[in-house]
Structure formats: C-alpha cells, structure tokens
Amino acid sequence: MKKVVITGLGAVTSLGEDVPTLWRNLVEGRSGIFRIERFDPSGFRTQIAGEIKEFDPSKRFPKGKVGGVPLRKLDRFLLYALWATEEALNDSGLLDGRVDPDRVGVIIASGIGGVETLEREVITGYTRGYNRISPYLVPMMIPDMASGLVAIEYNFKGPNYTVVSACASSANALGDALRLIRYGDADIMVVGGAEAPIIKTALAGFSSMRALSTRNDEPEKASRPFDAERDGFVMAEGAAVLVLEEYEHAKKRGAKIYAELAGYGATADAYHITAPCVDGEGAVKAMLRALEDASVLPEDVDYINAHGTSTKLNDVAETRAIKAVFKDHAYRIGVSSTKSMTGHLLGGAGALEALATVKTIETGVIPPTINYEHPDPECDLDYVPNEAREMEVRVALSNSFGFGGHNAVLAFRKI
C-alpha cells in the first residue's frame, strides 16, 4: 500500500495569518477569542468569536484576482481557503511548475460555505428587489467553489470536489485524499477546510441552540474544553490546508516531509442530529478503524488532538470513547484541545487540528488545553493543562466529530 506524507502546510486563523505565527501562539497558550468587531453583537446572547482582524488578501494576491474573479467579489471563506493554499503550496515547493497537473487534486471542505454572501444577498432581495441580487450569489455560496478556484488558479486537473459533514468535513476530506493517493488516482492532493461563519444569522442560530459560550466578559477564557465550568463552544473562522503526497513522489522531488498520514476511520452515530452518542460508540469505532488502517496498536499512540469543543456533552462523550479504545493506556496519552485557543472553525476544524497534530510530531511539543482550571470528574484524562509539553510523539490521532453524528479520525506517524 502506498505511503502518504504531508509536504506543505498553510493556515489563517485568529491566532495568525501563517503557520509559524499560529504555531508559536498555540505553543505559548494564547487565546484567539475576542469580542466581535465585524458587527455590533450587543443584542446577542454570545458576543465573542475567533475573528480574524484586518485581513487583507491583496497582500498575497496583488493582482486583485484569483481564478479570474476579483477579490472583492469572493466570499470570505474562499479568501481564507486561497490564502492558506498559497502558503501550503509555497511551503511544499509545488509552485515551480515541475509537477504533472493531471496528477494533482484538490479537496477543500466547508461546513456551510459562503453564508456571508447568502445573508447579504437575501437582505438585498428583501429590501431592494430580487432583480438586484448579484450574479455571484450562487458561485460564491456553494461550498465546492474553494476547490474549484484553487484548481483554476494553479491549473490542478486531478480529482476535485468538496466534502460537507459539519465539523468533521475537512477531516473527512483528508481521509478521502489519503485514499485517492493510495488508489493511484493522484500523486498529490491539496486538502483542507475553510469557514467564515461570523455573521449575524449564524451567530443567532447557534445561540438559539444554546450551543455557544456566553462568557462575554472574559472572551479569552470562554473556550475551556474538559473544564467543569465549560458552557459551550466558541465559533471561529479561518482555513487550514495541507499538501498530501505519495511518499516516493515526494522523495524524488526532494520535498520536505513533516509526517505520514497513516490511517483514517469514519463512522456515524445514527443517534441524534446535534448530540453525540452518550457512550461515544461512533467515536470509538472511528478511532479503532483509524488505528487498524495505520497498522498501529492502541498502546503505540502518544498524543490525541481532541475534538474537545468545550460543550457539556461532547467532552464527556469523547473522554469515554478514548478510555474505551485505550483502556489503561488512555491515562498515559497526552490529550489536548487546540480549540481552547483557536475556537471552533466548524468545517475547517479538522484540517486545522490535523495541521497542529503534524506540527506536534515535527517539533516534539504538545500544545496545551488552556483554561483548564476546574477538573471535571467525568473528564479525567491528561489534557496537557495550560502549558505546552515537550515530548516525542511518534503516533498521534486527530479526532473530529460533527452534527448529524459524523465521526472522522486521522492517524499520523513520525517518518
């Protein structure tokens, strides 16, 4: 079976507009959660988010167009996806034109796509008339357009589509890409996730579900996975993109190799539209399938980047699932949730946390779970509380679970 490795990384989040800045802030335990500034959130139960400030896409795309479309017409989620892709491709050395475009595919996932465009144009229709709706509405709204624009901009002609599975979307995308390379359908896959949900409608929707933290007076302490005083997740925006490559192909061109994507497992809870299965059954099966796919034993795992949303139900269910899979070894694994710092990128979360897992393997540093102050008796694992930890990580998992009962787990291995 073909080995698949990671040869490029790119990201934009509220903790930084590039991977080095993001990683430094994660290791230092900084929070990227602030009061929302894009609009006045005063009338909302939740008024905080992982919002990217002063983002200027022209710094990376000075011609003012991408894929033939003016930057000013692109939905924010597309701008984030393109920004992260450009960094990942530069990092991988793929912009020198020496690869076969027919052998390079793209899967950029998104949970909800261009909702900022959709909200704006619905308002236009109601207030100014439906004949005033932009012709860009549909192409800027549909989630697959990130993959399409990347292909157009860089002339990548391999497999190209998107994945939508809520908060598991970009983890599923990475799993699909792994299999496409293994099957021989591509040598290289540009894979990730992007989300830009910080709009009034999305904030109101998640708030009405009572899913979001309302710790508005202390934004930096609002995302507190596994802590007994957690009260909901914190919505965030951004993108992360990874370049996956067949190992021999990467070696032949002298690419830098960060780690191996060794395994993938995906399941469904078939339980509830938003709540996880109480005993974590679906998550258990997804982790076991990822381990089996990677040909590693549970006791080989050193680190888990947890889904860790900071919600009452998820954190307990995930803890139970980890203990069910790893038994006594669960207490010897470093488990951390980088959502404590980045917030929750929804469909982009899986790719961002996969990136963080890859950096953990590369650097031998586990980022912390910040705001872990009040231990929850039902969450009793080693969550790497509040401070990063130096530790060799040979095998790691990245967990992603989504509304609808979607579970996706990725297994990474040191090369």
**Catalytic annotation, residues:** 167, 307, 344
CA geometry: angle 114, 199, 226, nearest 5 deg: 100
Contact 242, 174 (CB under 8 A): yes
Please give the distance of CA 242 from its chain centroid, rounded to a whole number: 11
Residues 359, 274: Cα–Cα separation, whole Å: 30
- Residues making up the chain, counted from first to last: 415
Buried b (16+ CB within 10 A) or exposed e, 182-218: beeebbbbbbbbbbbbbbbebbeebbeeebbbebbee
Beta-sheet pairing, 259-268 with 406-413 = antiparallel
Locate 188 and state its tokens: 């290289």
Compute the half-sphere exposure of residue 287: CA atoms within 13 Å on the CB side of its CA.
31
Q: Between the CA of residue 404 and those of 111, 210, 216, 302, what are the distances in Å?
A: 12, 17, 28, 29
Sequence-ordered alpha helix ranges (H) in 93-185: 115-128, 137-141, 145-154, 169-182
Q: What are phi and psi of 180, to 5 degrees?
A: -60, -40
